[in-house]
């Protein structure tokens, strides 16, 4: 079963991931259907790896606010 989350986007986190070349849609797509779960080494927050429908392999870090809502923290493309 795929996880379901509501994403709390702010101008700051949206701009931050855009600076890494990732869209909101790509972030949400990978968090909802991750290839692999992980933990961010720098923050200890939950993270996922996955491939977008556009073929990017990205790493997404988020902060769970409750059972359904997450705050996107960062994302970047993995070589």
pLDDT digits (tens, 9 = 90+) for 3-57: 678 999 999 999 999 999 999 999 999 999 999 999 999 999 999 999 999 999 9
Domain ranges for the chain, please list them.
6-77
CATH of span 6-77: 3.10.450
pLDDT for the residue 30: 96
Query: Which of these, 75, 60, 63, lies nearest to 15 by C-alpha position?
Result: 75
Per-residue three-class SS string for the chain: CCCCCEECCCHHHHHHHHHCCCCHHHHHHHHHCCCEEEECCCCCCEEEEEECCCCCEEEEEEEECCCCEEEEEEEEECC
């Amino acid at each position: 079963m795929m996880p379901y989350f509501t994403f709390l986007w702010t101008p700051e986190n949206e701009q931050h991931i855009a600076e890494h070349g990732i869209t909101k849609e790509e972030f949400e797509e990978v968090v909802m259907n991750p290839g692999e779960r992980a933990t961010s080494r720098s923050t200890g927050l939950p993270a996922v790896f996955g491939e977008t429908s556009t073929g990017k392999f990205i790493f997404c870090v988020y902060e769970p606010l409750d059972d359904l809502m997450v705050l996107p923290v960062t994302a970047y493309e993995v070589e």
